[in-house]
Amino acid sequence: MPSWLLYTLGVVIFAFGLLLSIALHEVGHMVPAKKFGVKVTQYMVGFGPTMWSRKRGDTEYGLKAVPLGGYIRMIGMVPPRADGRRSRWPRRMATAVEDFRQVSRAEVQPGDEERQFYRLTPGKKMIVMVGGPTMNLLIYLVLTIIVLTTLGVAKERPPTLTITSIEKCVVAANRTDVDPNECPVGSEAPAYRKLQPGDTVLAVDGTPVTSWDGLVSRVETSAGAPLRMTIRRDGITRTVTVTPVRNLKRVVDGKGGTKLATTGYLGVSPVIPRYYDTLSLTEIPGEIGRQLHLGVSALARYPEKIGNLFGTVFQGEKRDPEGAVGVVGIGRISGDLAESKAITTKDKVASLLGLLASVNLLLFFFNLLPLLPLDGGHVAGAIVEAVKRGRARLRARSQPPLVGPDGGAVRPARPQIFVDTAQMLPVMYGVASVLVVLTLLTLYADIVSPIRLLGG
């Protein structure tokens, strides 16, 4: 199959998986909302102009032109303004809040008053809003379990003495602003033009080499000293002389980590054989727990990665291969995986499924951030509402009982307290603006300085 077709297939597989994930996310909101009696007027996958739609019952189902998200529209998302309560925002923003409230009220038809979202109990509101992220979590779990039980976890055997790639330039490990493929003639890496991918190292200065670690140790201690390397290329044994140069690189520190040190450097990487080890059902929870921890850590480092992204976009710095990446970038990575000749078909399937699983895991965590208009913001509002209602009930119980006309005790009505999320409209605008800016930044970086895998 042609490389371009494999690349396209990888992009299409990711795009379809993402679209399906978005659709199921919205199903996670819609099903409990309808179950609790809320009127759902729209179920849309994508944004922008509507490409296709069909109405069934109260709900219009459709696809929009830009498949970068989705939404369901529930009537009565915000409560009516409490009588006599003034907005805390300046006049212009207060007017926008009231306009937003009126738009929400206009969706309520006669007879639908009890089908408004804001009238749900706090617990039901939380179930509706958590439903979407829960679907992403389920997708992640299903894909991960499939990979772990059928394909297995990719593991690496010790590196061989066969060279898989050669760096063109000498770049210090702490330099992220230098393109490793652009350097003046004469300043190339020592192995460049001397060795080739596929060469197998047999001996150095006549001494047989038995491991890659042994070769690395010899190179690191030989900066400036010519080395006569015996290699096998295309079945023919030959001798090549290369001279390691001094370079700042990352080395093992003896404590299970790495450190920066100035040592001899050639600029070659070995072939590392991979194999897959399937897990039993009892081993899967531990592996999933490890991945969940990595997901939380990745989200915690997101602000730092955004800072690096600003350096790439505005200062021309080298793109961090582990930095923030958008939908376009992940699509390109999917294409690179499918097109690559350096990995097996099994590697490609496992990597693409793992990539989709990772995207859904990050969507789960991201959507639960307690910021409007994200799902987590609505969950936070429901929690505040539950706390306020609980405090009101406690105060009511501490009051003397009311006496009815017949002289009996009258139970006070349960307090109807609603958190007015309409007042958070300025915050929603702010968060939405930040999300739009971040989306545009990652889009630009993914186009002009994409993250490429496997030498793609």
The 10s digit of each residue's pLDDT in 367-376 is 999 999 999 9
Do 140 and 8 sit in the same domain of this protein? Answer: yes
Do 126 and 177 sit in the same domain of this protein? Answer: no
| Domain, as residue range, for 172 | 162-272
pLDDT at site 403: 57
- pLDDT confidence band for 68 (50 / 70 / 90): confident
Given the residues 26, 220, 339, 385, the one annotated as active site: 26
Query: How much is the average pLDDT of 345-351?
Result: 88
pLDDT higher than threshold 90 for residue 452: no
Cα 366 to Cα 300: distance, rounded to the nearest angstrom: 10
Cα→Cα distances 336→106, 205, 350, 445, Å: 49, 39, 14, 17
Residues 6+ apart with CB under 8 A from 200: 160, 161, 162, 163, 231, 232, 233
pLDDT higher than threshold 60 for residue 140: yes
Instruction: Report the percentage of the chain scoring pLDDT > 90.
Output: 46
Q: Report pLDDT digits (tens) over 280-316.
A: 888 899 989 998 898 888 888 888 888 888 877 887 7
Do 173 and 151 sit in the same domain of this protein? Answer: no
| The last residue of a domain, from among 241, 272, 303 | 272
Do 176 and 128 sit in the same domain of this protein? Answer: no
Query: How much is the average pLDDT of 437-443?
Result: 89
Do 142 and 124 sit in the same domain of this protein? Answer: yes
- Asked if residue 92 belongs to a domain, the reply is yes
26 is catalytic: yes
Do 297 and 368 sit in the same domain of this protein? Answer: yes
Do 427 and 303 sit in the same domain of this protein? Answer: yes
Do 258 and 405 sit in the same domain of this protein? Answer: no
**Residue among 109, 268, 262, 300 nearest 193 (CA):** 268
Do 201 and 228 sit in the same domain of this protein? Answer: yes
pLDDT at site 456: 39
pLDDT higher than threshold 60 for residue 256: no
Query: How much is the average pLDDT of 202-210?
Result: 94
pLDDT at site 314: 83
Which range among 110-114, 134-138, 395-399 shows the weakest confidence by mean pLDDT? 395-399
Where do we find the tokens 């040190």? 261
Query: How much is the average pLDDT of 409-413?
Result: 56
Q: Report pLDDT digits (tens) over 309-346.
A: 887 788 777 777 777 888 899 999 999 889 887 778 88
Q: Report pLDDT digits (tens) over 417-439.
A: 888 888 888 888 899 999 989 88
- pLDDT confidence band for 455 (50 / 70 / 90): very low
> What pTM was computed for the model?
0.78
| The last residue of a domain, from among 246, 272, 298 | 272
Do 91 and 119 sit in the same domain of this protein? Answer: yes
Say how many domains are in the chain.
2
Cα 422 to Cα 419: distance, rounded to the nearest angstrom: 9
pLDDT at site 411: 58
Which range among 17-21, 103-107, 255-259 shows the weakest confidence by mean pLDDT? 255-259
- Asked if residue 278 belongs to a domain, the reply is no
pLDDT at site 410: 54
Query: How much is the average pLDDT of 66-86?
Result: 83
Query: How much is the average pLDDT of 139-166?
Result: 90
Do 335 and 353 sit in the same domain of this protein? Answer: yes
Cα 342 to Cα 348: distance, rounded to the nearest angstrom: 10
Cα 453 to Cα 267: distance, rounded to the nearest angstrom: 18
CATH number of the domain that residue 222 is part of: 2.30.42.10
